[in-house]
Amino acid sequence: MTPRLQVILVTTLLGGGVFNASLHAQTSTTDESRQRPPAFSTGVTAGAMSFSGGRSEQGVAVMLQYAATPWLTLSAAPGFAHTTFGQTSTSGLTDVPLGAGVWRTLADLAWSPTISGSLYTTLSPSSGTNGVGIGRNTFGVSAAASGWATHQLNLTVGASHPLSANSGNGSIELGSAYALGKTTANLGVSSEVGSADSSAVLSRSVAGGVAVAVAGPLTLTIDGSHGLTSGAPSWTVSVGFGTAFAGLSPLNATSPIRRLNRVFGSRTSSTSGYSKSGSGSCRRTGTC
């Protein structure tokens, strides 16, 4: 091989390698669904919620998330809300959800599934009589799995179950996400599992939203939901901004239902089971 041909060959190989690396980097930075939040990520979400019984709520929450190890994530979401029912209006700190979750991606299997499990608790800074939050601490467990059915379609199934008394019912979530480059479209349904309170029916709702990559993991989210039963909020809407919402994960706040739960608490998907022996009335609280 002549020196000239050697130079041309080396230049071609090096150029092709640089091009492929550049293409891979461009794909990873322009595909919102494959973004990853930094080790310490934050976000802010604000929204509004309304029930058919006349109760309405507006709130804002700060999402704090820390990846202590590549497989362990810790999270908290303190917030502030204003609720109105009839002639009564109340403002105050919301229940603070805390979570510790583990996850693993099985990249060698079909669909590259990700499985996760977490322990969660809510710390209530206020009494149950002020209308914001449920007025007591709760404890529970959740699990989820997700996988890529195609290069663009991701499917998720998840469930939660309370472990302490009067902590609300459990719930099941089915979700899907479709990658559109810098935008990811989400659609999901949630169903409350357990016993309904007096005069109430179990909550079921459908939720949708979009996540838009602004710069790297910095993401803008817009979400909403509609109640399929009178036990669910008639509608909710929220807007979020931050790095905690980047990409797709069955553990993090990367679906409309989980993002709405961060700002409004567990009552978004589970409205019964917070009173003793199911004696609470949804008509008294304005949630049906």
pLDDT tens column, 55-79: 899 999 999 999 999 899 999 999 9
pTM (2 d.p.): 0.84
- Domain presence at residue 110: yes
Is it the case that residue 284 has pLDDT exceeding 80? no
Is it the case that residue 288 has pLDDT exceeding 90? no
- Domain presence at residue 3: no
CATH of the domain at 154: 2.40.160.40
- pLDDT single digits (tens) 159-179: 999 998 877 889 999 999 999
Q: Which domain holds residue 156?
A: 31-285
- Domain presence at residue 138: yes
Decide: 21 and 223 in contact? Cβ < 8 Å.
Answer: no
How many domains, the chain?
A: 1
- pLDDT single digits (tens) 168-213: 889 999 999 999 999 999 999 999 998 888 778 889 999 999 999 9
Strands 153-162 and 138-148 come out as: antiparallel
DSSP state, 223? E
- Domain presence at residue 19: no
- Domain presence at residue 2: no
